[in-house]
Amino acid sequence: MVTPGAPASGGIMVDWNTENVLHLLSRAGFGAKFKEAASWERRGQALTVELLVSQKGMSAKGPATPDADPESLAKLQTWWVKRMATQNARRLQEKMVLFWHDHFATQYSVVKNVRQMSYQNRTFRLHGLGSFKTLVYEVTRDAAMLEFLDGRLNSKNNKNENYGRELMELFVLGVFDLNGGENYTQTDVEQITRCCTGYQIDFAKDLGFFNSNRFDNGNKTLFAGTGHQASGNIGFEDANGALLPPAQNVIDILFAHRDTDGELTMPRYLAKKLWEYFAYPNPTKTLVDEIAAPFISGGFVIRDLLRAIFLHDEFYSAQAKTSSVKNPVEFALSAMRATKASSNYAQVPIFLDDMGMDLFEPPSVNGWSSGLSWLSTGQFLQRFAFAQTLAAGRDVKELKLKPTQIFDDDATSAGQVVDELLGVFGIASRVPAGSRDALVAYLNDPAPPASFSDPAVIEKKVRGVIALILQLPEFHIH
């Protein structure tokens, strides 16, 4: 049962068993390593969740050069993919780096500076589990973001609305609240644009900085006529780099915005988005408010929101386990972790790009589409190609898999082998009997193997059934 002290959620308490451990590791990371679930099961739910969410920020960053260099970008992609694939205690930290890269979507093809992209990636790693206020501030002055959304061009004499608009629309509030009410007007876009003036990029260091001489010092009014109206010389920081007090600080004013229910807009917006990322679409308003409550009371610390999600009974519901399509990173890395595959990871970003997820190149400021869009015909075929390459992998420069590491070659029947492998991939309880029977029939065709330790059987049949399992719909859903 759930460890005492877990917050009540109004549902039936979940058993902390292998199935729920694997679900958490699939969502709060990139799947479980071979036979890893038992150690997390012994820790209990509360301790497991706490170990994942409590990791302190890290300043680790990948290799990069301060220019548009495809080779440098490839090295950065390889570094990050390897980090996502191999982290254990910090797996959620890397999962959140991926989430924030999608949330604060920034394209290398626009920025054209690999070092700036690397620094932004580091920002997500450093602040991605901490204060959301700090994260929004750091993104606002981030060089890659200043380049991507033209923040560096926004000055008191030359207004550019791109960043201010997306700050409200995509990053903090959303266009509409949970009732469909509009959260801001075009006038608010114009006013917040003035609040965001003054930032530039130091291209020698590839870091953003605030130039008070370019800042619009005039009076601004945000959300005029509402109960959360704010007026004054609103901005982010003063000439000395100190954050402005809450009454003048853009972020505090955005965080104080209230929706048509009179509730804080930002916590509901972020809670809903994170629930949909980790569980399933369209949560109820009641559920959103339950998981947002500790986020609000704790002063908008991201790990508090994540803890509430992962301790909520509904997170372990059947709907939460079967309503989300793995994105290409989740699909590929979970397959590699489950099979103990080895690689130098140089080719993995190319596989991800083929499947529709080119790291550091989201398709737009809206990030990647999710859900069934990942399973379009062309992208699904690329998933099959990856599955076949992984199952056949014999070269660490691409992918290398040793089947004998993940099944008992002393098995006496095809059914035993299939059940072991379905367990390795964490889908044994979800695969229909007909699919299991088809896998058994494949291993037994043209006749049951005399021995599953026979290298010829392993190299042809066992590798083949691994490829088939990786192509089952159940492995693409979590």
The secondary structure of 57-106 as a DSSP string is: P--------SS--HHHHHHHHHHHHHHHHH-STTHHHHHHHHHHHHHT--
Bridge partners, residue 232, by sequence: 220
At a CB cut-off of 8 Å and minimum separation 6, what does 209 contact?
A: 141, 199, 200, 201, 202
Q: Classify residue 462: in a domain, yes or no.
A: yes
Residue 451 · residue 443 · CB < 8 Å: no
Domain membership of residue 418 as a residue range: 404-476
Which mean pLDDT values do the consecutive 10-residue runs of the chain (478 residues) have? 38 82 97 93 97 97 96 98 96 98 98 98 98 98 98 98 98 98 98 98 98 98 98 96 96 98 98 97 98 98 98 97 96 97 97 98 96 90 97 96 94 96 94 98 96 96 98 95
The pTM score is 0.96
Q: Classify residue 298: in a domain, yes or no.
A: yes
Q: Classify residue 453: in a domain, yes or no.
A: yes
Number of domains in the chain: 2
Q: Classify residue 409: in a domain, yes or no.
A: yes
Q: Token pair of 85, please?
A: 């694939």
pLDDT for residue 14: 87
Q: Phi and psi (nearest 5°) for 122?
A: -65, -40
Last residue of a domain, one of 322, 337, 364: 322
With b for 16 or more beta-carbon neighbours within 10 A and e for fewer, the 42-75 pattern comes to eebbbebbbebbebebbeebbebebeebeebbeb
pLDDT for residue 4: 32
With b for 16 or more beta-carbon neighbours within 10 A and e for fewer, the 174-193 pattern comes to beebbeeeebbeeebbebbb
Q: Classify residue 289: in a domain, yes or no.
A: yes
Nearest to 76 by CA among 439, 361, 370, 430: 361
Q: Token pair of 259, please?
A: 């929706």
Q: Classify residue 284: in a domain, yes or no.
A: yes
pLDDT for residue 115: 98
pLDDT for residue 277: 97
Q: Classify residue 11: in a domain, yes or no.
A: no
Last residue of a domain, one of 304, 322, 340: 322
Last residue of a domain, one of 303, 322, 341: 322
Is the dihedral angle over the CA atoms 292, 297, 300, 305 positive or is it negative? Answer: negative
Q: Classify residue 398: in a domain, yes or no.
A: no
Place of tokens 């209990």: 44
Whole-number Å distance between alpha carbons of 11 and 314: 7
